[in-house]
Amino acid sequence: MNAIARDSKVLLALNKPKGYLVTRSDDMGRKTVYDLLPEWVFHDEWMPIGRLDLESKGLLLFTTNGQIGNVLTKPRGCIKVYEIWVRGHVTDAHIAQAMRGVESKHGLLKALVVEKIGFGGAKTKLRVQLNEGKNRHIRRLFGALKDPKFGTPLKVLNLTRVSIGSFELDIESAKWRYLTLEEEQKLLGNLN
């Protein structure tokens, strides 16, 4: 980790529930992730590394070290893994297309890896890996694909980020903790 200037306690993790914005404040008075964290996190200017939309949940990292934030968010810098439930039948052709990519007004949207991990009625559970992320990337990617039975767009019903790099979510919903020095070194060691 020679290339990254270190402070003590440079990363903390939050398990973000649905219904919280990833922002410092909201003009409309909606709940933000800072409502889940101690007040000093806001005042000491801990910033989220990346985003999760209002309806998404799961792992969110914070840091006061801008260099670490940049390393973890740069394109191709760090693999992020999500578990999602999709309304509609996801076929092998859908998975291949998601990994080849779909052009959109937001640029090329694609997944590094997509795996089926479960089924339930008219829903499919997938594990999706991204090595870059655009705004609402996964929702837009799967929304561009059609259900073969009904011809309607696939819809992501539930999205949970379960890991960022080597760090896997192990915290209850709405709880937070510091990463240990070992976890930080493992996460950042491969990215310098």
* Angle at which helices 181-189 and 66-73 cross, to 10°: 50
53 is catalytic: yes
Cα(49)–Cα(53) distance, rounded to whole angstroms? 13
Average pLDDT for runs of 10 along the chain of length 192: 52 97 94 96 93 96 91 82 94 96 91 94 94 89 89 95 96 97 87 59
- pLDDT recorded at residue 2: 37
Token code pair at residue 45: 């200017």
Domains observed in the chain = 12-75+165-189 (3.30.70.580), 80-164 (3.30.2350.10)
Per-residue pLDDT, 3: 43
Q: Which helix (H) or strand (E) holds 160?
A: strand 155-164
The predicted pLDDT at position 147 comes to 85
SS3 category, 138: helix
Q: Please identify which of the residues 26, 27, 35, 53 carries the catalytic annotation.
A: 53
* Global pTM value: 0.92
In terms of DSSP bridges, do strands 176-178 and 123-130 run parallel, antiparallel, or are they unpaired? unpaired
Q: What's the Cα-to-Cα distance from 178 to each of 64, 127, 171, 182, rounded to whole Å?
A: 12, 26, 11, 11
Question: Tell me, what's the pLDDT at 190?
Answer: 62
- Supply the pLDDT for residue 73: 83
